[in-house]
A and B are shown apart, each in its own frame.
Chain A
């Protein structure tokens, strides 16, 4: 299987330089549908699903390999290599901000600039550092995910797979986007919320944009400020929106901030 198949890669847009969008925990590449099209006239836009999410090859999810974010970073580098891309703009949301950062640290020649949407290098409080969460909160999240097995997880997928003669079963499902296998989602939740990439921040040698939401329970202002201080050559833009997904709740402002950072002339 090629990495393009494995990560369900979609390439659109016209342009020399490529812009690669990576979704965060809990969703898939559909998250970018209000933002990515805005860049299609200037960039080759590349959308993908992290292994274990969306329409990626779920069978490729080996918990031992994906026990760290680095494995996802390596997947992204494999996609860039297969598409023969260099000097790309990497855009990562939430946990994938750190994933794309790891990719840029590993192979800087492939990456020109980075956009971090609602990033956090560490979700747990740790000594003097305020990440916003305690370990018990993460256990509670896992519990919430368990009790939502039927609601948003792919535990229904085997039923659909078992009835290829009834494709309407798939359409009857609620919440058809961002579905994933519950066991994988659980594992990825753990990897995400227990990750700590603070030590990696000073190793980034590329300019970056931090898109910070004004009111975000997952990545509060203090975390954005911390990142801005620790990331050499970073720009911080606070978007007046609440929640963790400015690319969905405030797409225009998010597009504007990215365009400004990339010095794209608005159409």
Chain B
């Protein structure tokens, strides 16, 4: 405190300077004790005696500090605190439980210093103890919470592992199922072709049933194909070789393969002037464009000439591949990002497996890009694929 401060003190407060040192020692808001280097108690203040419930003469020269600790605390004191005091002449903020005369305990935080004589030999240990009953409760709560969190984490790890295993098993199952179904389904196509060629149907409705059967068969094959693609993707992500692909001829090829599906024929407008080539795995781009274009052709509005625009542009360092149609559209207010979920379908009246858009998003994300969708019901849908250049 500076002299100026002193001068400003009101006269009344000078009573404070008459604080009695002995009184302060005895009734300080903390426990004091002094011990011989071996821990024998030589002096304790009234506060500490009050906590402990002992009379002074029961402790002084008769007991040592370690004996006032729980056995665990004493082990800690002897193996850690005592050597530390002798090595560095002080210890601070050590947490112990003091044993009261009645067998209960009081949690304390201990600071201690070791004083040495003129020859450097240990002379006396001065100890200050703070009652931390409330703080200890919080600490115990924290320790309990920590232990609980650790248990939970272990449990989660186990569950996670289990889920990973189940997931892998499911992948395997789907892969095996699609693989096992593919062969007999293909056989059915061949057999049915042969049957149509050789058999004669007399029922007038037979030809209608034959074409329905063919549609159903095509659906089965499409679903199996989709399943295989999804599983393949899950199994070996980003193992595929990237190559530059010229979009014009690549897209034209896909359109040609789709045309038999389309009655009446649709109008395609292609414009790849801004970005004529993309660097992607060939199979990924094929699957992506095939799914988007076949969707555009599937979800048309009857009585309206289907139109599809496929184009590229450059936007803030990304190549944007846009596929726009004038079809039925999707109610995005209602369905939002569900459009990309596996097996999610919005037009049950049209054939589909619910895997196409899921695949599209997975493939684009694998290529380091993202997909955005805009749609107005009854007007059309626009997919924008943002791909790194």
| A interface with B by C-beta (< 8 Å) | 24-27, 30-31, 33, 94, 133, 137-148, 150-152, 174-178, 193, 215-218, 241-245, 248-249
Provide the residues of chain B in CB contact with A148, threshold 8 Å. 76, 94-95
The 7 closest A-B pairs by CB, nearest first: A140-B72, A26-B79, A26-B80, A141-B72, A174-B92, A248-B86, A242-B38
Q: Are A137 and B95 in contact (CB under 8 A)?
A: no
Please report the C-alpha to C-alpha distance between residue A139 and residue B80 in the assembled complex, in whole angstroms: 17
Contact of B78 among A146, A174, A178, A218 (CB under 8 A): A218
Please report the C-alpha to C-alpha distance between residue A24 and residue B96 in the assembled complex, in whole angstroms: 21
- CB of B86, distance to nearest CB on chain A (Å): 4
Please report the C-alpha to C-alpha distance between residue A146 and residue B143 in the assembled complex, in whole angstroms: 8
Contact of A175 among B37, B73, B84, B136 (CB under 8 A): B84
- CB of A209, distance to nearest CB on chain B (Å): 20
Contact of A243 among B82, B87, B91 (CB under 8 A): B82
Q: Are A244 and B78 in contact (CB under 8 A)?
A: yes
> Does B20 count as interface, using CB distance less than 8 angstroms?
no
Please report the C-alpha to C-alpha distance between residue A26 and residue B75 in the assembled complex, in whole angstroms: 10
> Does B181 count as interface, using CB distance less than 8 angstroms?
no
- CB of A115, distance to nearest CB on chain B (Å): 17
Task: Select from chain A the residue with minimum beta-carbon distance to B67.
Answer: A217
- CB of B71, distance to nearest CB on chain A (Å): 4
Q: Are A140 and B79 in contact (CB under 8 A)?
A: no
Contact of B38 among A24, A138, A147, A249 (CB under 8 A): A249
> Does B281 count as interface, using CB distance less than 8 angstroms?
no
Task: Select from chain A the residue with minimum beta-carbon distance to B96.
Answer: A144
Provide the residues of chain B in CB contact with A143, threshold 8 Å. 72
> Does B70 count as interface, using CB distance less than 8 angstroms?
yes
Q: 9 new A-B pairs (CB below 8 Å) besides A142-B72, A241-B38?
A: A26-B80, A133-B71, A140-B70, A144-B95, A144-B97, A151-B95, A178-B80, A243-B82, A245-B82
Residues facing A in B170-194 (CB within 8 A) are none
Provide the residues of chain A in CB contact with B38, threshold 8 Å. 215, 241-243, 249
Please report the C-alpha to C-alpha distance between residue A215 and residue B64 in the assembled complex, in whole angstroms: 12
> Does B378 count as interface, using CB distance less than 8 angstroms?
no
Provide the residues of chain A in CB contact with B88, threshold 8 Å. 175-177
Provide the residues of chain B in CB contact with A33, threshold 8 Å. 87
Please report the C-alpha to C-alpha distance between residue A152 and residue B107 in the assembled complex, in whole angstroms: 17
Please report the C-alpha to C-alpha distance between residue A142 and residue B95 in the assembled complex, in whole angstroms: 12
Q: How large is the interface on B (under 10, 10 to 19, 20 to 34, 35 or more residues)?
A: 20 to 34
Please report the C-alpha to C-alpha distance between residue A30 and residue B37 in the assembled complex, in whole angstroms: 19
Known: A147-B139, A217-B78. Contact between A27 and B84, CB under 8 A? Answer: yes
Q: Are A137 and B71 in contact (CB under 8 A)?
A: yes
Q: Are A177 and B39 in contact (CB under 8 A)?
A: no
Decide if the interface of chain B is mainly helix, strand, loop or mixed.
helix
Q: Are A141 and B76 in contact (CB under 8 A)?
A: yes
Provide the residues of chain A in CB contact with B66, threshold 8 Å. 217
Q: Are A144 and B39 in contact (CB under 8 A)?
A: no
Q: Are A248 and B87 in contact (CB under 8 A)?
A: yes
Q: Are B79 and A151 in contact (CB under 8 A)?
A: no
Residues facing A in B47-74 (CB within 8 A) are 64, 66, 70-74
Task: Select from chain A the residue with minimum beta-carbon distance to B71.
Answer: A137
Please report the C-alpha to C-alpha distance between residue A63 and residue B51 in the assembled complex, in whole angstroms: 41
Provide the residues of chain B in CB contact with A243, threshold 8 Å. 38-39, 78, 82
Q: Are B71 and A175 in contact (CB under 8 A)?
A: no
Task: Select from chain B the residue with minimum beta-carbon distance to A147.
Answer: B95
Task: Select from chain A the residue with minimum beta-carbon distance to B136.
Answer: A147
Please report the C-alpha to C-alpha distance between residue A249 and residue B72 in the assembled complex, in whole angstroms: 21
> Does B264 count as interface, using CB distance less than 8 angstroms?
no
13 examples of A-B residue contacts, CB within 8 angstroms: A26-B83, A27-B83, A31-B83, A94-B79, A141-B76, A144-B75, A152-B94, A174-B91, A175-B88, A217-B74, A243-B78, A244-B82, A249-B37
Please report the C-alpha to C-alpha distance between residue A244 and residue B83 in the assembled complex, in whole angstroms: 8
Q: Are B72 and A139 in contact (CB under 8 A)?
A: yes
Please report the C-alpha to C-alpha distance between residue A241 and residue B82 in the assembled complex, in whole angstroms: 13
Provide the residues of chain A in CB contact with B75, threshold 8 Å. 133, 137-138, 140-141, 144, 193, 217-218
Residues 344-386 of chain B, each 1 if its beta carbon lies under 8 Å from chain A, else 0? 0000000000000000000000000000000000000000000
Please report the C-alpha to C-alpha distance between residue A19 and residue B86 in the assembled complex, in whole angstroms: 23
Q: Which of A25, A94, A249 has the most CB of B within 10 A?
A: A249
- CB of A207, distance to nearest CB on chain B (Å): 27
Please report the C-alpha to C-alpha distance between residue A107 and residue B80 in the assembled complex, in whole angstroms: 31
Q: Are A140 and B83 in contact (CB under 8 A)?
A: no
> Does B93 count as interface, using CB distance less than 8 angstroms?
yes
Please report the C-alpha to C-alpha distance between residue A224 and residue B95 in the assembled complex, in whole angstroms: 31
Q: Are A145 and B82 in contact (CB under 8 A)?
A: no
Provide the residues of chain A in CB contact with B93, threshold 8 Å. 150-151, 174-175
Contact of A144 among B64, B70, B82, B92 (CB under 8 A): B70
Task: Select from chain B the residue with minimum beta-carbon distance to A245.
Answer: B83
Task: Select from chain A the residue with minimum beta-carbon distance to B80.
Answer: A26
